[in-house]
């Protein structure tokens, strides 16, 4: 740990966990300590650790052709985009392949700029879209943005997420090219908007010819109990961004949009040396092939079980403000700062995530068992209850 601390740029909140190996939703550290992993490598490990089909696909691809630039054709890429076409919303079947979520957002921003004569991009309060310059420009947190004003794109306006009144700003403004939003906000603390709000947002943008970009990097691929979180609201965006779990651990992201928009990017206007590389393609195909309706239904059921178990154990807990979530995208909002509680829970053998200053967040692998879910809920509740005394009765 010390060698890393000395040589890795100090940009991450580090956890006191040195991971050795994993299986399903269980991790072991180098000291043999067992963790139920509710973090899943920040939502990447959707199929858990040690997935045999991903391993076989990657190894097979390595033995045939592991490296090929996007200018070359490969069977692995063709297979991946055929698989992808099977899961994206109908008509959003033109793709840009990148490596990280932020890169998928950068590509979406370029598509928007090339597709509209208007200049303003609308983003939402508490949004998170990544930390490269373009993505950072539409990310809300002042903490992430404040030192980099010179880097940010101009003409971005933030409106309040899930606020009907603020939709008037879109109604009245005739210089808007696109709206970027997360169908369920992740980094912002697992915020689920109202159905009416999302439908109204879609209606206005459609009426005004404004491109609606749904960032599904965290909420997509079955995470909320449907393939895409926007399906919960009965709407269809014009562009979606996909990342995190899509590559099965190999860096991979996708910008998927209507051809009428995606085709506005000209040769050379966006590229990446390793975007769409064969290993990521093979791994991505193995992920999509395993994202069955049954598995996604299980995500919905397991999420329900997790939240209900938490609510049961934490019914009389003073420091819990709210337990909320959709599928396996869940949060416990506390009335105190999360950090001591979070560290206490890690100590007890559950690895969660966090948001803001008072929220515990969970993005476990979909393959977590019911027994592991109830065990994790129990351990987390015991950790949380031990801090009850911090809030006056």
Least distance in Å: CB of 135 to ligand PLP?
Answer: 7
217 lies in the binding site for ligand PLP (CB under 6 A): yes
Closest CB 109 distance from ligand PLP, rounded Å: 12
Nearer to ligand PLP, 182 or 333 (CB): 182
Site string for ligand PLP, 341-360 (x = CB under 6 A): --------------------
Closest approach, Cβ 119 to ligand PLP, in A, equals: 23
Identify residues 280-319 at the interface with ligand PLP (CB under 6 A): none
Closest CB 182 distance from ligand PLP, rounded Å: 5
Please report, as residue ranges, which positions from 162 to 191 form the binding site for ligand PLP (by CB under 6 A). 182, 186-187
Exposure of 143 by Cβ count < 10 A (0-12 exposed, 13-18 middle, 19+ buried)?
Answer: exposed
Q: Which is nearer to ligand PLP, 303 or 383 (CB)?
A: 303
- Per-residue x/- mask for ligand PLP, residues 226 to 245, rule CB under 6 A? -----------------xx-
| Contacting residue, 74, 218, 285, 317, with ligand PLP by CB under 6 A | 218
Tell me the closest approach of the beta carbon of residue 388 to ligand PLP, in angstroms.
31
In whole angstroms, the minimum distance from the beta carbon of 393 to ligand PLP comes to 37
Q: Which is nearest to 182 in space by CA: 219, 143, 139?
A: 219
Output the smallest distance, CB 124 to ligand PLP, in A: 11
Task: Name residues contacting ligand PLP, limited to 43-62 (CB under 6 A).
Answer: none
Pick between residue 220 and residue 383 the one whose CB is nearest to ligand PLP.
Answer: 220
Please work out the total of residues on this chain that contact ligand PLP, with binding judged by CB under 6 A: 15
Site for ligand PLP in 76-135 (CB under 6 A): 100-102, 105, 128-130
Other CB atoms within 10 Å distance of the CB of residue 133:
15
CB of 102 to ligand PLP, least distance (A): 3
Task: Compare residues 142 and 294 and give the one whose CB is closer to ligand PLP.
Answer: 142
Separation CA 253–CA 243 (nearest Å): 4
| CB-nearer residue toward ligand PLP: 187 or 330 | 187
CA 154 vs CA 133, 158, 261, 264: distances in Å = 11, 12, 21, 21
Q: Which is nearer to ligand PLP, 41 or 89 (CB)?
A: 41
Shortest CB 131 distance to ligand PLP, Å: 7
| Closest residue by Cα to residue 318 from 331, 334, 307 | 334
Using the minimum distance from each CB to ligand PLP, give the nearer residue, 57 or 102. Answer: 102
CB closer to ligand PLP out of 144 and 197? 144
Identity of the residue, 235 or 384, whose beta carbon is nearer to ligand PLP in the bound complex: 235
Considering the rule CB under 6 A, would residue 330 count as an interface residue with ligand PLP?
no
> Do residues 34 and 354 touch, judged by C-beta distance below 8 A?
no
Footprint of ligand PLP on this chain (CB under 6 A)?
100-102, 105, 128-130, 182, 186-187, 215, 217-218, 243-244
């Amino acid at each position: 740990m010390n060698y890393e601390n000395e040589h890795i740029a100090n940009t991450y909140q580090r956890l006191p966990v040195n991971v050795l190996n994993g299986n399903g939703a269980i991790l072991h550290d180098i000291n043999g300590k067992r963790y139920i992993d509710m973090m899943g490598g920040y939502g990447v490990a959707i199929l858990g650790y040690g997935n045999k089909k991903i391993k076989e696909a990657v190894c097979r691809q390595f033995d045939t052709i592991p490296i090929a630039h996007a200018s070359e054709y490969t069977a692995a890429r063709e297979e991946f985009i055929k698989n992808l076409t099977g899961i994206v919303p109908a008509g959003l079947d033109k793709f840009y392949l990148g490596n990280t979520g932020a890169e998928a957002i950068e590509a979406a921003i370029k598509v928007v700029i090339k597709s509209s004569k208007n200049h303003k991009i609308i983003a939402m309060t508490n949004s998170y879209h990544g930390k490269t310059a373009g993505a950072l420009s539409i990310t809300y947190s002042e903490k992430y943005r404040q030192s980099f004003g010179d880097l940010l794109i101009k003409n971005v306006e933030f409106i309040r997420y899930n606020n009907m009144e603020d939709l008037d700003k879109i109604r009245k403004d005739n210089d808007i090219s696109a709206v970027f939003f997360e169908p369920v906000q992740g980094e912002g603390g697992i915020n689920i908007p109202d159905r009416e709000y999302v439908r109204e947002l879609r209606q206005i943008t459609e009426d005004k010819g404004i491109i609606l970009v749904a960032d599904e990097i965290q909420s997509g691929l079955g995470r909320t109990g449907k393939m895409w979180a926007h399906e919960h609201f009965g709407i269809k965006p014009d562009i979606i961004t996909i990342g995190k779990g899509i590559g099965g651990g190999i860096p991979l992201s996708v910008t998927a949009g209507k051809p009428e928009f995606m085709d506005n990017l000209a040769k050379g206007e966006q590229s990446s040396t390793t975007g769409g590389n064969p290993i990521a393609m093979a791994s991505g195909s193995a992920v999509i092939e395993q994202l069955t309706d049954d598995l996604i239904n299980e995500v919905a059921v397991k999420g329900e079980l997790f939240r209900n178990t938490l609510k049961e154990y934490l019914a009389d807990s003073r420091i819990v403000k709210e337990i909320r979530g959709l599928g396996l995208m869940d949060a416990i909002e506390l009335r105190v700062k999360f950090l001591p509680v979070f560290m206490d829970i890690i100590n007890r053998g559950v690895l969660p995530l966090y948001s803001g200053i008072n929220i515990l967040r969970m993005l476990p692998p979909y393959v977590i068992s019911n027994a592991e879910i109830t065990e994790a809920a129990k351990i987390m509740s015991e950790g949380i209850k031990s801090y009850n005394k911090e809030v006056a009765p």
